[in-house]
Amino acid sequence: MSKHPAGGIYAAMSAATTTALPVPGNNTPGLAAIPKIRIRSLRKRFGQKIVLDGVDLDVMPGTSMVVIGGSGSGKSVLLKCILGLIDPDDGQIEVDGQNILKLSRREREQTGARIGMLFQNGALFDSLPVWENIAFGLLARHATTRADARDRANGILQQVGLAASVGDLSPSELSGGMQKRVALARAIAAQPDIMFFDEPTTGLDPIMGAVIDGLVVDCVKRLGSTAIAITHDMASARRIGDQAAMLLNGRVIWCGPASALMDSGNPAVDQFTHGRREGPIQMELRR
């Protein structure tokens, strides 16, 4: 793979929304936390295809938000807009109360450096050994020496349950589960305060999927990060998420505790989470 998979991350990251929660450690009555990520009226279309049609979403500090929805519902486009890989047509994306769409390129790069990303298929560089994959962002930003980067990579490998000796292997020598662990190690290498996970359990068997989910939760809690994950895996969504939101027809149609995904009371959400053929969601025919 010759192209940097993170793109702008290292170069630069009718809707019900979550209720604002009290600031952790702040007991002042009525004082609400500023969302870590706040999205308002976000719109994006490609030609005649409207993908995002006024998305509103709040992700509170230290919260893991899972976004679900059918293929083509706009989940990946939403992440790419936040990451700065795609420019939205309209709307606001705020990080810590600051609209990042109004920032200069340099300021966007500084924001992007705070974000860790686990890509759906790992997106590891085949031409680099595992340890350089993990330390890629640090080395690209000249944030450390190669010797220190190797030490950092060895320590992070242990955090995701892999021996330091794995660092000398190439990605092609790893199983699918090991590749996911290495991709997770790369995502947390810079100790980001925001993390994104794109289908973290895709291609894994149920046991390895549960292992990866456990590692994701542990890493997010260890760093105190705010996280957004997109997934079709309902078991994974409930394991990873504190909160959950569903996209349909370019909008967030439901938002609530991830534990309520299977019993939301929303007909469209219930149809999707239970995989029912009949219901308000109808498959669009391509013409």
Biggest distance spanned by C-alpha atoms of the chain: 58
pLDDT: is 46 or 138 the higher one? 46
pLDDT at 284: 62
**What are the tens digits of pLDDT across the range 51-82?**
999 999 999 999 999 999 988 888 999 999 99
CATH number, position 107: 3.40.50.300
Predicted pLDDT of residue 19: 35
Beta bridge partners of 246: 68, 254
| C-alpha span between 240 and 153 (Å, rounded) | 24
Q: Can you tell me the mean pLDDT for 247-270? A: 94
Question: Is residue 189 over pLDDT 50?
Answer: yes
The string of pLDDT tens digits covering residues 207-252 is: 989 988 998 999 899 889 999 999 988 999 999 999 999 999 999 9
Report if residue 44 sits inside a domain: yes
Residue 102 lies in a domain: yes
- Confirm whether 237 is domain-assigned: yes
Q: What integer pLDDT is reported at residue 107 of this predicted model? A: 86
State the pLDDT at residue 17.
34
Mean per-residue pLDDT over the chain, rounded? 84
How many structural domains compose the chain? 1
Task: Give the confidence band of 269 by pLDDT, cuts at 50, 70, 90.
Answer: very high
pLDDT at 43: 96
Does a structural domain hold residue 149?
A: no
Q: Is 23 left (phi over 0), alpha (psi -120 to 50) or beta?
A: beta
Residue 48's domain comprises: 8-20+33-128+192-274
The single-letter code of the amino acid at 133 is: N
Residue 157 lies in a domain: no
Cα–Cα distance for residue pair 156/63, rounded to 1 Å: 22
Question: Is the pLDDT confidence value at 11 over 70?
Answer: no
